[in-house]
Amino acid sequence: MSLLSVRMRASLKGKHVSGAERIVQEEDIPLTLCELLKRPGEHDFLKLTVERLEEVEELEFDLPVSSHRFESVKEGREFALAKLVESGVPERIAREGVGLLSKGANPKGGNMRGAVLLDVETGKRLEPDPERGIRTVRVDWKDRSAVREGLLKRGFTERTLDALAIAFKNLHCGVLAELCWSDDPDYITGYVASRKLGYVRITPLKEEGDPLGGRVYFIRREGIGEIIKCLEERAVLIKSLPSLL
Ligand code: COA
Ligand code: AMP
């Protein structure tokens, strides 16, 4: 079966406003392009990329998904910290990760264009370009519409669908644990993901109106080359478990 990666990104006045991707069969390309064209809000630039994939790994989604709600951001972040520690990240390094996202992980101020790679032993940042970070790409659900429907029925959002896929691929590529909250000022739910705990949604991880967000991938620096290659290049299609449908 020949599969293609379809990616869309849109910007306004040079600022990234929307991105999405799919892995689909050739006959589904026209529909997919139409769907992705409908996604971005206001923009003055949009780019679509269609690329044939040589090899696509199929993986079965096997992470438990849980949700936790707190009264304050402080409590939410303390809980996230505890979950990172339970996942095997030393407390000092977990705090460093939470701190980076709280103040904006781009050394020039504000958000990055991808994720921080944080060494779980030294707390050093390992991404080659700390303004850009590393992006997880070439990942999608094999039965996307069924998983989407299942998640929406259970009160989750479309965002959860994409974030679950990214988090799952990250763990597959060797990320020990991930911390994420959105840079969308209106979206205050974030998550910690790890093999040990699964995908742990946490509300709130930031205040309403806060434009800062990002991702921290906690990794061991041995094998960093392989991890980056996997995150950026390996194509992964995720088959869902009945529990997600
Ligand atoms: N954030 C900010 N800028 C981005 C970006 C992102 N997510 N994705 C692309 N860009 C901009 C950057 O300026 C980038 O240049 P850089 O590589 O120097 O950073 C430029 O676009 C080119 O990006 P490229 O890597 O060629 O894009 P791509 O065609 O491979 O597409 C996307 C990548 C858009 C598919 C991917 O970034 C994305 O958004 N995936 C979907 C993630 C998602 O579903 N998120 C929501 C749930 S959490
Ligand atoms: P979002 O969940 O889309 O609001 O993204 C939150 C943050 O995650 C962004 O500010 C980026 O720093 C980072 N990010 C966005 N897309 C990706 C990706 N595909 N891989 C890794 N990090 C990303």
Range from 10-24, 70-84, 146-160 carrying the lowest mean pLDDT: 146-160
Judge whether residue 245 has pLDDT over 90.
no
158 or 215, higher pLDDT: 215
Gap from CA of 182 to ligand 2 centroid (Å): 7
Mean pLDDT, the chain, whole residue set: 95
Judge whether residue 167 has pLDDT over 90.
yes
**CA 66/CA 201 separation, integer angstroms:** 6
**CA 195/CA 201 separation, integer angstroms:** 14
Say yes or no: CB of residue 170 within 6 Å of ligand 2.
Answer: no
**CA 54/CA 3 separation, integer angstroms:** 8
81 backbone dihedrals φ, ψ, rounded to 5°: -60, -45
Gap from CA of 137 to ligand 2 centroid (Å): 11
Gap from CA of 114 to ligand 2 centroid (Å): 5
Tell me what pLDDT residue 242 has: 65
Sheet arrangement for strand 235-239: 56-60, 235-239, 139-141
pLDDT in tens, 189-201: 999 999 999 999 9
Tell me what pLDDT residue 158 has: 86
Say yes or no: CB of residue 234 within 6 Å of ligand 2.
Answer: no
3-state SS assignment for residue 204: coil
Strand partners, 239: 60
3-state SS assignment for residue 184: coil
Q: In a 10 Å sphere around its CB, with 0-12 CB exposed, 13-18 middle and 19+ buried, how is residue 185 labelled?
A: middle
Mean pLDDT confidence for 203-222? 97
Looking from the CA of 142 toward its CB, the CA atoms found within 13 Å total 15
For the chain, the domains span 3-54, 59-238
Question: Which residues of 108-245 form beta strands (DSSP E)?
Answer: 116-119, 139-141, 177-181, 190-194, 198-203, 214-219, 235-239
Q: Which protein residue's CA is at the shortest distance from atom 41 of ligand 1?
A: 20
Judge whether residue 12 has pLDDT over 90.
yes
Tell me what pLDDT residue 236 has: 98
Say yes or no: CB of residue 49 within 6 Å of ligand 1.
Answer: yes
Mean pLDDT confidence for 204-228? 97
Q: How confident is the model at residue 112 (pLDDT cuts 50, 70, 90)?
A: very high
Mean pLDDT confidence for 208-234? 97
Gap from CA of 40 to ligand 1 centroid (Å): 13
Judge whether residue 72 has pLDDT over 90.
yes
Q: Which amino acid is at 42?
A: E
Please give the structure tokens belonging to residue 57: 């790994």
Q: Kindly list the distances between the CA atom of residue 35 and the CA atoms of 20, 178, 220, in Å, as whole numbers in the listed order.
A: 10, 29, 38
Looking from the CA of 161 toward its CB, the CA atoms found within 13 Å total 23
